[in-house]
Chain A
Amino acid sequence: MKRTLPFIIILVVLGAAVGSALYYTRATPGSNFTPADSATASTAPANTAAQPPVVTGAPGADPPYTLGSPNAPARLEEFGDYQCPPCGMFHPILQQMHKEFGDKLQITFREFPLPGHQHAIAAASAAEAAGLQGKFWEMHDLLYEHQNDWKDKFDVRPIYEGYAQQLGLDLDRYKRDVSGEAVAQRIFLDRKRGESLGVSGTPTVFLNGREVPFASLPAEKLRPILQNTINAGGR
């Protein structure tokens, strides 16, 4: 008995380890979230069983920055952090979706700067300050596209001021706005909205008020989900 007991213990631990790993892989929400494939997408109802609930939450900054038509059947809302690498990776995906779906897709961006990112608030402020001069999306694009250029820098202000100049903004006004009350207030309200919706990380994406699992954000997974929603008329 004494000679086989250690092997029995080892096998039991191996079984428990593999078993629990498989169990949690399956149980993680969204890990196996695959929408109906495109062949059946047009006939299948978009929203059947096991859908996350529709949430409304606190209002957020008003008016929000949006792309596409307010009457679009698919209304996507992203909570993002300019310093978060996966948000940076999601940015071109969302641009591609905007290009493909046009007026059928409305995209809203909400500021959700995470406390662990030292420049996240500064970046959000830069985008919001540019927004006060009508160039929110232009600054938004620059911040994401050049994320790797600034995220490890010690002082990011001159870099963002460079972007402001590049966009032809009134630099004196930008410098005032970036540390001003209006910008801080908008970020605060967006964050409050995120918190009220239970956002705990970025990017978090809602489609018509339902959270889209993080694992479904690659383009090839997001596209059929958007198509389904549009085909179903937004339901």
Chain B
Amino acid sequence: MKLYVTAAIISLLGLADALYLTVEHVTGQSVRCTIVAGCSEVLSSQYAVVAGVPLALIGAAAYFSVFSLATLRAFGYRIAATLLTALVLLMFLFTLWLIYLQAFVIHAFCQFCLFSAAVTTALTVIVLIAILSRRKTT
């Protein structure tokens, strides 16, 4: 229960980060080079858009889904746990892919993307702890 409340709160950080990047993308600010380096290379790369949809918006939708599922689970909707686990593990795999792209393809890191990676990693750890503790109790 407490685990899912924590997951819900952490997912809000991811949601805020992804929303910020979505706004930057929509307003065109993200493609500019700034004194804080790295983001423009990453956010103006071809990987920032998937089929016309900004990746940041997909991220925002994913974090919102995580928040919704974690909240539902915290209030006792058990079915949400399975969906939450599947979604978070999928997001974690996707995050690994995005870090790979930044490190080996784009050769630049964006701190906002790394923050999102940290959030998803934290969510993954929580989900794994939840699975393990469920195994122990049953």
Contacts and interface: CB of A to CB of B under 8 A. Distances in A.
Given A13-B12, A85-B41, A116-B37, A20 B64 contact: no
Interface in A182-206: 200-203
Nearest to B28: A215
Interface string A43-54: 000000000000
Contact of A87 (B33, B41, B68, B76): B33
Nearest to A11: B68
Nearest to A116: B37
Interface stretch (B19-27, B93-101, B114-122, B130-138): B19-27
Given A17-B19, A21-B19, A86 B75 contact: no
A10 B67 contact: yes
Contact of A84 (B23, B40, B74, B75): B40
Interface residue tally on A, bucketed by range: 20 to 34
A183 B8 CA distance: 55
Given A28-B29, A81-B33, A85-B33, A10 B19 contact: no
A14 B63 CA distance: 11
A5 B75 CA distance: 8
B19 A117 contact: no
Interface of A: 2-3, 5-6, 9-10, 13-14, 17, 20-21, 24-25, 28, 30-31, 81, 84-87, 114-117, 152, 200-203, 214-215
